[in-house]
Amino acid sequence: MSLLATLLGDAPSPADAARGSAPRLLAYLADAASAALLNSAAASLLPCEVRTGDIRSAVRDLARQRSPDLLLVDLSGVANPLAAMEALAGVCDPSVRVIAVGDSNDIGLYRDLRRIGVTDYLFKPLSRDLLEGALRAAAAGAAADEAAGRLGKLVAVVGARGGVGTTTVAVHLGCWLADGARGRTALVDLDLQNGTVALALNLRPEPALREAVEAPDRVDDVFMERAMVAASDRLSVLAAEEPVEDVIDIAPAAALSVLNRLQARHNYVVVDAGRAQGGAARAALEAASIVVLVGDASVAGLRDLVRLRAAIARRAGGGRLVTVLNRRGAPGELPAADLMRTLGEPPEHALPYRPVPLAVAAGVGEPAFRHCRRFREAMERLGADVAGQPAAQDGLFRRWVRR
């Protein structure tokens, strides 16, 4: 049921109630008077749950539960409201509309909040008319967002050839976006039979991904939540381990339907597209806002890296291409001069060859950057680039070129 239908007075369906869906409006207010007024104002508009607390309480709770459609948070007494809003953005789904209330009648604060995406700012004492107007406007905006498909960032990780570490990069990128960028992140493995994304994090996949791609019309948000396995409070994995003797052909439209549903509930969706040889993986590359192309400095690796980079550049989609040279320093790699002559320009990022920390991490099912400082620093630069955050320049490749 759409939010607009709820606003017009339709009651929640029995199915919605049975599956425990999040309230349409979730509010955190620090004082009893404001809470009572909101309960009264929202009663005739849409389902509402009011909790005692402020924006810090909202950040704590939403890190562990499903986001509502509308969120009202109290900034009263918060020393740095903009920083608090940034923290909230890291735990909220991208589709959430936020109304802020506070005790400061500051036009500068209002403009700053609007600039970072807050729907409205109301200062105390609240009035019923203003509150009802803000709720109506936010609900209408949320319904428009639902129709327009406001989505999180889709990142496709593809390998130039097998054995270059595509899954390693995808898993560590997903972990960094969840931990470093503090975003709700979905990590998707499109290889339903032999994928190792879940294995790398010591997780057992739920047997639902195949059903999701074979019958996408029967999938809803609750189904997707149950199909995913939580790796942390901000990282969830969607993978499968289907019988190897089965013939599984994922339709591109079905894959995109699943990915779009994930984008509506996550800040980042990272897809391990393998070598992008199937229709579903190629559709993910076309739809991605960022394609991370992984290769190495072996003769075959560079040949295929150049070929695939050219092919991706010719694709219909307009997403940004980021080239990652993995396993820098590995035995058998070409000299830097030959690599530069082949590529024509340095790759955007280089990840060091660290087989021991990677093997240790794989054995315990956790990211290798917790065991290796240099690998962590390189992944931080790649993750910050994908997230659009400032980061130190990657000096690994430049130092290597000077050798």
Model confidence at 318, pLDDT cuts 50, 70, 90, reads low
Does the pLDDT of residue 249 top 90, yes or no? no
First to last CA, the chain: 62
DSSP string covering 57-69: HHHHHHTTS---S
Q: Do 392 and 302 belong together in one domain?
A: yes
Q: What CATH number should be reported for the domain holding residue 78? A: 3.40.50.2300
Q: What is the pLDDT of residues 128-155, one digit of tens each?
A: 888 888 888 887 765 555 444 457 899 9
Q: What CATH number should be reported for the domain holding residue 241? A: 3.40.50.300
DSSP string covering 44-113: TTS-EEEEES-HHHHHHHHTTS---SEEEEE-TT-S-HHHHHHHHHHHS-TT-EEEEEES---HHHHHHH
Q: What is the pLDDT of residues 340-358, one digit of tens each?
A: 888 888 889 999 988 888 8
Cis before 125 (ω within 30) = yes
pLDDT of 171: 95
Q: Do 105 and 187 belong together in one domain?
A: no
Strand locations in 304-362, DSSP E?
A: 320-328, 349-352
Q: Do 273 and 331 belong together in one domain?
A: yes
Beta-bridge partners for 235: 185
Domain count, the chain: 2
Q: Which amino acid appears at position 304 of this protein?
A: D
Q: What is the pLDDT of residues 227-243, one digit of tens each?
A: 889 998 889 999 999 99
Q: Do 37 and 106 belong together in one domain?
A: yes
Does the pLDDT of residue 74 top 90, yes or no? yes
pLDDT of 133: 85
Q: Do 192 and 230 belong together in one domain?
A: yes
Last residue of a domain, one of 100, 121, 148: 148
Does the pLDDT of residue 32 top 60, yes or no? yes
Q: What percent of the chain has pLDDT over 90?
A: 33
pLDDT of 190: 92
Q: Do 40 and 114 belong together in one domain?
A: yes
Decide if 381 contacts 392 (C-beta within 8 A): yes
Q: Which amino acid appears at position 371 of this protein?
A: H
Last residue of a domain, one of 148, 174, 198: 148
pLDDT of 398: 44
Residues in the chain: 403
Q: What is the pLDDT of residues 284-299, one digit of tens each?
A: 999 999 999 999 989 9
Q: What is the dihedral of CA 298, 301, 307, 308, to 10 degrees?
A: -150
pTM above 0.85, yes or no: no
Last residue of a domain, one of 107, 131, 148: 148
Q: Do 214 and 248 belong together in one domain?
A: yes
Q: Do 158 and 70 belong together in one domain?
A: no
pLDDT of 2: 35
How far is Cα 368 from Cα 379, in angstroms, rounded to an integer? 10
pLDDT of 337: 83
167 or 10, higher pLDDT: 167
For CA atoms 246, 164, 166, 342, the dihedral sign is negative
pLDDT of 391: 58
Q: Do 142 and 55 belong together in one domain?
A: yes
Q: Do 215 and 294 belong together in one domain?
A: yes
- What's the token pair of residue 337? 């001069």
For the chain, what is the mean pLDDT? 82
**Structural domain span for residue 230:** 153-401
Q: Do 170 and 95 belong together in one domain?
A: no
Q: Do 233 and 260 belong together in one domain?
A: yes
Q: Which amino acid appears at position 149 of this protein?
A: G
Alpha carbon of 115 to those of 147, 263, 264, 278: distances in Å?
23, 22, 21, 41
pLDDT of 8: 31
